Structure 1
Amino acid sequence: MNGQHSTSLNGIAHVPNSTTSSLIPQPPTPQAGEQLDYQMRLLSLWINKVKQTGRIDYPELVQLLDQVHEVENAPDGAVLMQQQCDALVQNLKQAQTDIREAAQQIQFHLKKLANTLQDKNLTPTDEQELRSPIREKTQQFLQGVEYLLDVTQHHVYQPSPLWKKWMRRTEETETETVRKWMNDLNYIRQYIAQQAQVGVLAGNCQTENSKTPDFRRLHKYLETAPGFGDLLGNFVQRELNHKVAGGGKFGIPKSY
Protein backbone atom coordinates (compact mmCIF):
# COMPACT_ATOMS: atom_id res chain seq x y z
CA MET A 1 0.00 0.00 0.00
CA ASN A 2 2.48 2.50 -1.24
CA GLY A 3 4.89 1.16 1.32
CA GLN A 4 2.69 2.38 4.16
CA HIS A 5 1.55 -0.95 5.50
CA SER A 6 4.80 -2.34 6.83
CA THR A 7 3.10 -4.33 9.57
CA SER A 8 2.27 -7.99 9.10
CA LEU A 9 -1.07 -9.45 10.11
CA ASN A 10 0.24 -10.41 13.50
CA GLY A 11 0.80 -6.72 14.19
CA ILE A 12 4.59 -6.85 14.44
CA ALA A 13 6.18 -4.01 12.53
CA HIS A 14 9.09 -4.64 10.20
CA VAL A 15 11.88 -2.32 11.32
CA PRO A 16 14.45 -1.28 8.69
CA ASN A 17 17.99 -2.34 9.33
CA SER A 18 20.01 0.27 11.16
CA THR A 19 22.85 1.96 9.35
CA THR A 20 26.09 0.17 10.08
CA SER A 21 28.78 2.40 11.50
CA SER A 22 32.01 2.61 9.54
CA LEU A 23 33.97 2.92 12.76
CA ILE A 24 35.89 -0.10 14.04
CA PRO A 25 34.13 -1.34 17.19
CA GLN A 26 36.19 -0.92 20.33
CA PRO A 27 36.29 -3.52 23.11
CA PRO A 28 34.46 -2.53 26.30
CA THR A 29 36.49 -0.72 28.89
CA PRO A 30 37.18 -2.41 32.24
CA GLN A 31 34.81 0.08 33.90
CA ALA A 32 32.01 -0.83 31.48
CA GLY A 33 32.57 -4.53 32.06
CA GLU A 34 32.43 -4.08 35.84
CA GLN A 35 29.21 -2.05 35.50
CA LEU A 36 27.59 -4.80 33.42
CA ASP A 37 28.62 -7.48 35.90
CA TYR A 38 27.17 -5.41 38.73
CA GLN A 39 23.86 -4.95 36.89
CA MET A 40 23.61 -8.67 36.14
CA ARG A 41 24.20 -9.51 39.82
CA LEU A 42 21.45 -7.09 40.83
CA LEU A 43 19.09 -8.61 38.29
CA SER A 44 19.88 -12.11 39.51
CA LEU A 45 19.22 -11.10 43.13
CA TRP A 46 15.92 -9.46 42.13
CA ILE A 47 14.77 -12.56 40.20
CA ASN A 48 15.61 -14.78 43.18
CA LYS A 49 13.58 -12.49 45.45
CA VAL A 50 10.58 -12.66 43.10
CA LYS A 51 10.79 -16.47 43.05
CA GLN A 52 10.99 -16.64 46.84
CA THR A 53 8.31 -14.11 47.75
CA GLY A 54 6.08 -14.13 44.64
CA ARG A 55 5.98 -10.35 44.85
CA ILE A 56 7.00 -7.82 42.21
CA ASP A 57 7.23 -4.24 43.43
CA TYR A 58 6.99 -2.62 40.00
CA PRO A 59 3.34 -2.15 38.89
CA GLU A 60 4.31 -1.45 35.29
CA LEU A 61 6.27 -4.67 35.06
CA VAL A 62 3.47 -6.62 36.72
CA GLN A 63 1.00 -5.28 34.17
CA LEU A 64 3.29 -6.21 31.28
CA LEU A 65 3.85 -9.72 32.65
CA ASP A 66 0.11 -10.12 33.12
CA GLN A 67 -0.48 -9.21 29.49
CA VAL A 68 2.24 -11.49 28.18
CA HIS A 69 0.90 -14.34 30.32
CA GLU A 70 -2.62 -13.78 28.97
CA VAL A 71 -1.45 -13.72 25.34
CA GLU A 72 0.69 -16.84 25.77
CA ASN A 73 -2.17 -18.81 27.32
CA ALA A 74 -4.87 -17.75 24.85
CA PRO A 75 -5.62 -19.39 21.47
CA ASP A 76 -3.51 -18.07 18.64
CA GLY A 77 -4.64 -14.58 17.67
CA ALA A 78 -7.39 -14.41 20.28
CA VAL A 79 -5.56 -11.85 22.43
CA LEU A 80 -3.21 -9.07 21.34
CA MET A 81 -0.57 -6.99 23.04
CA GLN A 82 -1.34 -3.28 23.00
CA GLN A 83 1.56 -2.59 20.64
CA GLN A 84 0.26 -5.16 18.16
CA CYS A 85 -3.22 -3.67 18.27
CA ASP A 86 -1.89 -0.13 17.80
CA ALA A 87 0.14 -1.17 14.75
CA LEU A 88 -2.83 -2.94 13.15
CA VAL A 89 -5.16 -0.01 13.81
CA GLN A 90 -2.67 2.45 12.36
CA ASN A 91 -2.34 0.39 9.19
CA LEU A 92 -6.10 -0.06 8.93
CA LYS A 93 -6.55 3.71 9.04
CA GLN A 94 -3.93 4.07 6.31
CA ALA A 95 -5.72 1.44 4.23
CA GLN A 96 -8.99 3.37 4.56
CA THR A 97 -7.21 6.55 3.46
CA ASP A 98 -5.62 4.76 0.50
CA ILE A 99 -8.99 3.39 -0.62
CA ARG A 100 -10.62 6.80 -0.42
CA GLU A 101 -7.84 8.75 -2.15
CA ALA A 102 -7.21 6.15 -4.84
CA ALA A 103 -10.92 5.87 -5.68
CA GLN A 104 -11.15 9.62 -6.23
CA GLN A 105 -8.06 9.70 -8.45
CA ILE A 106 -9.17 6.72 -10.51
CA GLN A 107 -12.53 8.41 -11.17
CA PHE A 108 -10.76 11.60 -12.26
CA HIS A 109 -8.61 9.75 -14.80
CA LEU A 110 -11.53 7.61 -15.98
CA LYS A 111 -13.49 10.76 -16.81
CA LYS A 112 -10.59 12.01 -18.92
CA LEU A 113 -10.38 8.64 -20.66
CA ALA A 114 -14.13 8.52 -21.31
CA ASN A 115 -14.11 12.00 -22.84
CA THR A 116 -11.17 11.13 -25.06
CA LEU A 117 -12.76 7.88 -26.20
CA GLN A 118 -16.03 9.66 -26.91
CA ASP A 119 -14.21 12.07 -29.22
CA LYS A 120 -12.41 9.10 -30.80
CA ASN A 121 -9.19 10.97 -30.26
CA LEU A 122 -7.17 8.55 -28.09
CA THR A 123 -3.63 8.82 -29.41
CA PRO A 124 -0.86 6.45 -28.26
CA THR A 125 0.59 9.32 -26.25
CA ASP A 126 -2.73 9.99 -24.53
CA GLU A 127 -3.18 6.31 -23.80
CA GLN A 128 0.26 6.06 -22.22
CA GLU A 129 -0.28 9.18 -20.11
CA LEU A 130 -3.54 7.79 -18.74
CA ARG A 131 -2.35 4.21 -18.35
CA SER A 132 0.32 4.96 -15.76
CA PRO A 133 -1.76 6.92 -13.18
CA ILE A 134 -4.76 4.60 -13.54
CA ARG A 135 -2.55 1.55 -12.99
CA GLU A 136 -0.80 3.17 -10.03
CA LYS A 137 -3.97 4.29 -8.27
CA THR A 138 -5.74 1.02 -9.04
CA GLN A 139 -2.89 -0.85 -7.37
CA GLN A 140 -3.16 1.44 -4.34
CA PHE A 141 -6.91 0.87 -4.19
CA LEU A 142 -6.61 -2.92 -4.49
CA GLN A 143 -3.91 -3.16 -1.84
CA GLY A 144 -5.97 -1.08 0.58
CA VAL A 145 -9.03 -3.29 0.14
CA GLU A 146 -7.00 -6.50 0.33
CA TYR A 147 -5.28 -5.42 3.54
CA LEU A 148 -8.61 -4.51 5.13
CA LEU A 149 -10.17 -7.85 4.18
CA ASP A 150 -7.09 -9.82 5.24
CA VAL A 151 -7.00 -8.25 8.71
CA THR A 152 -10.75 -8.80 9.11
CA GLN A 153 -10.52 -12.47 8.17
CA HIS A 154 -7.34 -13.15 10.14
CA HIS A 155 -8.21 -11.36 13.38
CA VAL A 156 -11.98 -10.91 13.55
CA TYR A 157 -14.20 -12.71 11.07
CA GLN A 158 -13.21 -16.37 11.26
CA PRO A 159 -12.15 -18.69 12.72
CA SER A 160 -11.58 -16.34 15.63
CA PRO A 161 -13.55 -17.40 18.75
CA LEU A 162 -14.18 -13.70 19.36
CA TRP A 163 -16.11 -13.47 16.09
CA LYS A 164 -18.29 -16.45 17.00
CA LYS A 165 -18.95 -14.93 20.41
CA TRP A 166 -19.83 -11.62 18.78
CA MET A 167 -22.24 -13.38 16.42
CA ARG A 168 -24.04 -15.02 19.34
CA ARG A 169 -24.53 -11.78 21.24
CA THR A 170 -25.70 -9.65 18.31
CA GLU A 171 -28.77 -9.67 16.16
CA GLU A 172 -28.60 -11.73 13.00
CA THR A 173 -29.26 -8.65 10.89
CA GLU A 174 -26.14 -6.95 12.26
CA THR A 175 -24.03 -10.02 11.55
CA GLU A 176 -25.33 -10.14 8.01
CA THR A 177 -24.51 -6.45 7.59
CA VAL A 178 -20.83 -7.00 8.39
CA ARG A 179 -20.71 -10.01 6.07
CA LYS A 180 -22.30 -7.87 3.34
CA TRP A 181 -19.61 -5.19 3.72
CA MET A 182 -16.95 -7.82 3.19
CA ASN A 183 -18.68 -9.42 0.21
CA ASP A 184 -19.36 -6.08 -1.46
CA LEU A 185 -15.78 -4.90 -1.01
CA ASN A 186 -14.42 -8.17 -2.35
CA TYR A 187 -16.69 -8.02 -5.40
CA ILE A 188 -15.74 -4.38 -6.10
CA ARG A 189 -12.06 -5.28 -5.73
CA GLN A 190 -12.37 -8.01 -8.34
CA TYR A 191 -14.37 -5.84 -10.74
CA ILE A 192 -11.96 -2.88 -10.51
CA ALA A 193 -8.98 -5.18 -11.01
CA GLN A 194 -10.49 -6.54 -14.22
CA GLN A 195 -12.14 -3.45 -15.72
CA ALA A 196 -10.16 -0.38 -14.61
CA GLN A 197 -7.52 -0.82 -17.30
CA VAL A 198 -6.93 1.51 -20.21
CA GLY A 199 -6.36 -1.37 -22.60
CA VAL A 200 -9.62 -3.09 -21.67
CA LEU A 201 -11.68 0.12 -21.79
CA ALA A 202 -10.16 1.36 -25.03
CA GLY A 203 -10.44 -2.07 -26.65
CA ASN A 204 -14.12 -2.30 -25.85
CA CYS A 205 -14.71 0.99 -27.64
CA GLN A 206 -13.44 -0.31 -30.96
CA THR A 207 -16.06 -0.46 -33.68
CA GLU A 208 -15.70 -4.23 -34.14
CA ASN A 209 -16.35 -4.84 -30.46
CA SER A 210 -20.02 -4.75 -29.54
CA LYS A 211 -19.24 -4.51 -25.84
CA THR A 212 -18.89 -0.94 -24.59
CA PRO A 213 -17.16 -0.03 -21.34
CA ASP A 214 -19.53 0.68 -18.46
CA PHE A 215 -17.94 3.80 -17.00
CA ARG A 216 -21.08 4.47 -14.97
CA ARG A 217 -20.72 1.14 -13.18
CA LEU A 218 -17.05 1.79 -12.49
CA HIS A 219 -17.83 5.18 -11.00
CA LYS A 220 -20.63 3.73 -8.89
CA TYR A 221 -18.35 1.11 -7.37
CA LEU A 222 -15.56 3.62 -6.79
CA GLU A 223 -18.00 5.95 -5.04
CA THR A 224 -19.39 3.28 -2.71
CA ALA A 225 -16.15 1.43 -1.88
CA PRO A 226 -14.74 4.08 0.53
CA GLY A 227 -17.97 3.99 2.53
CA PHE A 228 -17.82 0.21 2.88
CA GLY A 229 -14.13 0.50 3.76
CA ASP A 230 -14.81 2.99 6.54
CA LEU A 231 -17.70 0.97 7.98
CA LEU A 232 -15.77 -2.30 7.98
CA GLY A 233 -12.47 -0.71 9.02
CA ASN A 234 -14.01 1.10 11.98
CA PHE A 235 -15.75 -2.08 13.09
CA VAL A 236 -12.51 -4.09 12.90
CA GLN A 237 -10.62 -1.43 14.86
CA ARG A 238 -13.16 -1.62 17.68
CA GLU A 239 -12.98 -5.42 17.74
CA LEU A 240 -9.18 -5.36 17.79
CA ASN A 241 -9.24 -3.05 20.82
CA HIS A 242 -11.52 -5.57 22.56
CA LYS A 243 -8.85 -8.23 22.00
CA VAL A 244 -6.08 -6.35 23.83
CA ALA A 245 -4.77 -8.24 26.84
CA GLY A 246 -6.45 -6.78 29.90
CA GLY A 247 -3.96 -7.96 32.49
CA GLY A 248 -5.60 -10.91 34.14
CA LYS A 249 -4.22 -12.24 37.40
CA PHE A 250 -0.59 -13.23 37.01
CA GLY A 251 0.01 -16.55 38.74
CA ILE A 252 3.37 -18.11 39.45
CA PRO A 253 6.26 -15.87 38.39
CA LYS A 254 8.26 -17.37 35.56
CA SER A 255 12.01 -17.59 35.21
CA TYR A 256 12.99 -14.61 33.08
Structure 2
Amino acid sequence: FYKQFTIFPLSGTNWVGQILTDLVAIFEEKMQNKASSMNDEELEEFPYLEIGDTGKYERMNKLPSRRVIFTHLLPENLPRSVFKNKAKILLLIRNPKDVATSFYHFCKAMPPLPSYETWNDFFIAFMTKKMPWGCYFEYLSKWNKYAADENIMTITYEELKENPVLGVKNIAAFFGIALTEEELQSVVERTSFQSMKKNSQKTHGAFGNIFFRKGGVSDWKNLFSEDQNEKMDKAFEEHVGGTTLGKKLKYELYCKA
Protein backbone atom coordinates (compact mmCIF):
# COMPACT_ATOMS: atom_id res chain seq x y z
CA PHE A 1 0.00 0.00 0.00
CA TYR A 2 1.21 3.47 -0.81
CA LYS A 3 -1.13 5.50 1.39
CA GLN A 4 -3.30 4.29 4.23
CA PHE A 5 -5.93 6.33 6.00
CA THR A 6 -7.15 4.95 9.34
CA ILE A 7 -9.90 6.33 11.51
CA PHE A 8 -12.59 5.33 14.00
CA PRO A 9 -16.09 5.72 12.51
CA LEU A 10 -17.70 9.17 12.75
CA SER A 11 -14.42 10.98 13.23
CA GLY A 12 -14.31 12.72 9.84
CA THR A 13 -13.77 9.80 7.47
CA ASN A 14 -15.45 11.22 4.40
CA TRP A 15 -13.90 14.65 4.88
CA VAL A 16 -10.25 13.69 5.25
CA GLY A 17 -10.64 10.82 2.83
CA GLN A 18 -11.74 13.30 0.19
CA ILE A 19 -8.83 15.60 0.99
CA LEU A 20 -6.29 12.82 0.51
CA THR A 21 -7.98 11.43 -2.59
CA ASP A 22 -8.07 14.91 -4.17
CA LEU A 23 -4.42 15.56 -3.35
CA VAL A 24 -3.33 12.28 -4.94
CA ALA A 25 -5.52 12.76 -8.01
CA ILE A 26 -4.17 16.25 -8.70
CA PHE A 27 -0.59 15.12 -8.13
CA GLU A 28 -0.92 12.12 -10.45
CA GLU A 29 -2.49 14.18 -13.19
CA LYS A 30 0.29 16.71 -12.84
CA MET A 31 3.13 14.18 -12.84
CA GLN A 32 1.80 11.94 -15.59
CA ASN A 33 -0.13 14.60 -17.48
CA LYS A 34 -3.18 12.40 -17.35
CA ALA A 35 -6.12 11.63 -15.11
CA SER A 36 -5.83 9.48 -11.98
CA SER A 37 -4.91 5.85 -12.63
CA MET A 38 -8.07 4.75 -10.82
CA ASN A 39 -11.46 5.17 -12.48
CA ASP A 40 -14.70 5.97 -10.64
CA GLU A 41 -15.68 2.31 -10.29
CA GLU A 42 -12.32 1.40 -8.75
CA LEU A 43 -12.43 4.36 -6.37
CA GLU A 44 -15.87 3.22 -5.23
CA GLU A 45 -14.78 -0.40 -4.74
CA PHE A 46 -11.49 -0.05 -2.90
CA PRO A 47 -11.79 2.71 -0.28
CA TYR A 48 -12.40 0.47 2.77
CA LEU A 49 -9.90 -2.31 3.34
CA GLU A 50 -12.29 -4.37 5.47
CA ILE A 51 -15.34 -4.19 3.19
CA GLY A 52 -15.88 -6.35 0.11
CA ASP A 53 -15.59 -9.88 -1.24
CA THR A 54 -12.37 -11.86 -0.84
CA GLY A 55 -11.49 -11.43 -4.50
CA LYS A 56 -11.28 -7.70 -3.92
CA TYR A 57 -7.74 -8.00 -2.51
CA GLU A 58 -6.44 -9.81 -5.56
CA ARG A 59 -7.88 -7.07 -7.75
CA MET A 60 -6.38 -4.45 -5.45
CA ASN A 61 -2.89 -5.96 -5.81
CA LYS A 62 -3.04 -5.47 -9.56
CA LEU A 63 -3.57 -1.72 -9.27
CA PRO A 64 -0.70 0.78 -9.74
CA SER A 65 1.16 1.61 -6.52
CA ARG A 66 -0.36 4.97 -5.67
CA ARG A 67 -3.32 3.53 -3.80
CA VAL A 68 -5.37 5.28 -1.14
CA ILE A 69 -7.06 2.82 1.21
CA PHE A 70 -9.37 3.71 4.10
CA THR A 71 -9.89 1.54 7.19
CA HIS A 72 -11.52 1.57 10.62
CA LEU A 73 -9.38 -1.38 11.76
CA LEU A 74 -7.12 -1.64 14.78
CA PRO A 75 -3.38 -2.02 14.04
CA GLU A 76 -3.33 -5.72 14.96
CA ASN A 77 -6.07 -6.42 12.41
CA LEU A 78 -4.18 -4.87 9.50
CA PRO A 79 -2.03 -6.99 7.17
CA ARG A 80 1.51 -7.18 8.55
CA SER A 81 2.76 -5.97 5.17
CA VAL A 82 1.36 -2.52 5.96
CA PHE A 83 3.95 -2.08 8.72
CA LYS A 84 6.69 -4.21 7.18
CA ASN A 85 6.64 -2.15 3.98
CA LYS A 86 6.32 1.09 5.97
CA ALA A 87 3.20 2.21 4.15
CA LYS A 88 2.43 5.82 4.99
CA ILE A 89 -0.49 6.00 7.39
CA LEU A 90 -2.61 9.05 8.14
CA LEU A 91 -4.31 8.57 11.51
CA LEU A 92 -7.26 10.91 12.10
CA ILE A 93 -8.63 11.23 15.63
CA ARG A 94 -11.46 13.31 17.11
CA ASN A 95 -12.48 14.27 20.63
CA PRO A 96 -14.46 11.33 22.09
CA LYS A 97 -17.49 13.35 23.13
CA ASP A 98 -18.12 14.55 19.59
CA VAL A 99 -17.42 11.04 18.24
CA ALA A 100 -20.14 9.66 20.53
CA THR A 101 -22.56 12.45 19.62
CA SER A 102 -22.02 12.01 15.89
CA PHE A 103 -22.24 8.23 16.20
CA TYR A 104 -25.58 8.54 18.02
CA HIS A 105 -27.15 10.66 15.28
CA PHE A 106 -25.68 8.35 12.63
CA CYS A 107 -27.21 5.25 14.26
CA LYS A 108 -30.60 6.95 14.42
CA ALA A 109 -30.50 7.66 10.69
CA MET A 110 -29.01 4.36 9.44
CA PRO A 111 -31.42 1.38 9.73
CA PRO A 112 -28.72 -1.33 9.32
CA LEU A 113 -27.02 -0.15 12.52
CA PRO A 114 -28.27 -0.94 16.05
CA SER A 115 -30.99 1.51 17.10
CA TYR A 116 -31.24 3.21 20.49
CA GLU A 117 -34.44 4.64 21.94
CA THR A 118 -32.65 7.43 23.78
CA TRP A 119 -29.30 9.18 23.95
CA ASN A 120 -28.83 7.67 27.40
CA ASP A 121 -29.23 4.15 25.99
CA PHE A 122 -26.65 4.92 23.33
CA PHE A 123 -24.22 6.44 25.84
CA ILE A 124 -24.34 3.30 27.99
CA ALA A 125 -23.57 1.14 24.93
CA PHE A 126 -20.73 3.46 23.87
CA MET A 127 -19.15 3.35 27.31
CA THR A 128 -19.58 -0.41 27.82
CA LYS A 129 -17.88 -1.51 24.59
CA LYS A 130 -21.11 -2.56 22.87
CA MET A 131 -20.59 -0.58 19.67
CA PRO A 132 -20.28 -2.21 16.21
CA TRP A 133 -16.65 -1.03 15.93
CA GLY A 134 -15.68 -1.58 19.54
CA CYS A 135 -14.41 0.85 22.16
CA TYR A 136 -13.07 4.20 20.98
CA PHE A 137 -10.77 4.53 23.97
CA GLU A 138 -9.20 1.16 23.22
CA TYR A 139 -8.84 2.23 19.58
CA LEU A 140 -6.89 5.30 20.70
CA SER A 141 -4.83 3.32 23.19
CA LYS A 142 -3.79 0.68 20.65
CA TRP A 143 -2.92 3.16 17.91
CA ASN A 144 -0.98 5.22 20.44
CA LYS A 145 1.70 2.49 20.42
CA TYR A 146 2.46 3.47 16.82
CA ALA A 147 2.09 7.22 17.18
CA ALA A 148 5.85 7.85 17.15
CA ASP A 149 6.50 5.81 13.98
CA GLU A 150 7.97 7.95 11.21
CA ASN A 151 5.56 6.50 8.64
CA ILE A 152 2.51 7.55 10.68
CA MET A 153 1.06 11.05 10.81
CA THR A 154 -1.63 11.90 13.35
CA ILE A 155 -4.00 14.77 12.76
CA THR A 156 -7.05 15.78 14.78
CA TYR A 157 -10.45 16.70 13.43
CA GLU A 158 -10.37 19.83 15.57
CA GLU A 159 -7.03 21.18 14.28
CA LEU A 160 -8.15 20.56 10.72
CA LYS A 161 -11.36 22.50 11.35
CA GLU A 162 -9.42 25.32 12.99
CA ASN A 163 -6.92 25.69 10.15
CA PRO A 164 -7.85 23.64 7.06
CA VAL A 165 -5.21 25.31 4.87
CA LEU A 166 -2.38 24.30 7.19
CA GLY A 167 -3.91 20.85 7.66
CA VAL A 168 -4.09 20.16 3.93
CA LYS A 169 -0.52 21.43 3.48
CA ASN A 170 0.75 19.14 6.24
CA ILE A 171 -1.04 16.11 4.79
CA ALA A 172 0.38 16.84 1.34
CA ALA A 173 3.90 17.27 2.74
CA PHE A 174 3.70 14.01 4.71
CA PHE A 175 2.81 12.05 1.59
CA GLY A 176 5.35 13.84 -0.56
CA ILE A 177 2.72 15.49 -2.70
CA ALA A 178 4.19 18.67 -4.15
CA LEU A 179 1.44 21.06 -5.25
CA THR A 180 1.29 24.81 -5.83
CA GLU A 181 -0.45 27.13 -3.38
CA GLU A 182 -3.27 27.49 -5.88
CA GLU A 183 -3.70 23.72 -6.20
CA LEU A 184 -3.67 23.26 -2.43
CA GLN A 185 -6.24 26.03 -2.02
CA SER A 186 -8.51 24.36 -4.57
CA VAL A 187 -8.44 21.18 -2.45
CA VAL A 188 -9.27 23.18 0.68
CA GLU A 189 -12.23 24.82 -1.04
CA ARG A 190 -13.56 21.64 -2.65
CA THR A 191 -13.35 19.70 0.63
CA SER A 192 -14.92 22.31 2.91
CA PHE A 193 -17.95 21.01 4.79
CA GLN A 194 -20.23 23.42 2.97
CA SER A 195 -18.97 22.27 -0.44
CA MET A 196 -19.13 18.57 0.40
CA LYS A 197 -22.61 18.88 1.91
CA LYS A 198 -23.79 20.75 -1.18
CA ASN A 199 -22.53 17.92 -3.39
CA SER A 200 -23.52 15.11 -1.02
CA GLN A 201 -26.56 14.00 -2.99
CA LYS A 202 -24.31 13.46 -6.00
CA THR A 203 -21.50 11.76 -4.07
CA HIS A 204 -23.50 9.80 -1.48
CA GLY A 205 -27.03 9.68 -2.89
CA ALA A 206 -29.82 9.31 -0.35
CA PHE A 207 -27.27 9.10 2.47
CA GLY A 208 -25.83 12.55 1.75
CA ASN A 209 -27.56 14.37 4.59
CA ILE A 210 -26.68 11.54 6.99
CA PHE A 211 -22.95 11.63 6.27
CA PHE A 212 -22.82 15.43 6.27
CA ARG A 213 -24.98 16.48 9.22
CA LYS A 214 -23.22 19.38 10.97
CA GLY A 215 -19.47 19.02 10.61
CA GLY A 216 -18.76 21.10 13.70
CA VAL A 217 -16.95 20.93 17.02
CA SER A 218 -18.51 20.70 20.52
CA ASP A 219 -21.95 19.45 19.46
CA TRP A 220 -21.63 17.12 22.46
CA LYS A 221 -22.71 20.00 24.70
CA ASN A 222 -26.25 19.58 23.37
CA LEU A 223 -26.52 16.02 24.70
CA PHE A 224 -24.16 15.24 27.59
CA SER A 225 -25.44 15.40 31.17
CA GLU A 226 -23.13 16.30 34.04
CA ASP A 227 -22.94 12.64 35.08
CA GLN A 228 -22.10 11.54 31.53
CA ASN A 229 -19.38 14.18 31.30
CA GLU A 230 -17.80 12.86 34.49
CA LYS A 231 -17.94 9.24 33.30
CA MET A 232 -16.31 10.01 29.98
CA ASP A 233 -13.68 12.25 31.56
CA LYS A 234 -12.74 9.37 33.86
CA ALA A 235 -12.65 6.83 31.01
CA PHE A 236 -10.46 9.10 28.91
CA GLU A 237 -7.94 9.51 31.74
CA GLU A 238 -7.86 5.79 32.44
CA HIS A 239 -7.24 4.78 28.82
CA VAL A 240 -5.25 7.55 27.13
CA GLY A 241 -4.68 10.36 29.62
CA GLY A 242 -1.05 11.50 29.35
CA THR A 243 -0.36 9.50 26.17
CA THR A 244 0.81 11.00 22.89
CA LEU A 245 -2.63 10.74 21.29
CA GLY A 246 -4.33 11.83 24.49
CA LYS A 247 -2.31 15.05 24.54
CA LYS A 248 -2.84 15.54 20.82
CA LEU A 249 -6.60 15.63 21.35
CA LYS A 250 -6.38 18.63 23.73
CA TYR A 251 -9.12 17.15 25.89
CA GLU A 252 -9.16 20.04 28.34
CA LEU A 253 -9.89 22.46 25.52
CA TYR A 254 -12.48 20.52 23.57
CA CYS A 255 -14.13 18.22 26.11
CA LYS A 256 -14.56 20.23 29.28
CA ALA A 257 -17.81 22.13 29.74
> TM-score, normalising length from structure 2?
0.26
Larger helix share, 1 or 2: 1
> TM-score, normalising length from structure 1?
0.26
More contact order relative to length (CA 8 Å, sep ≥ 6): 1
Larger strand share, 1 or 2: 2
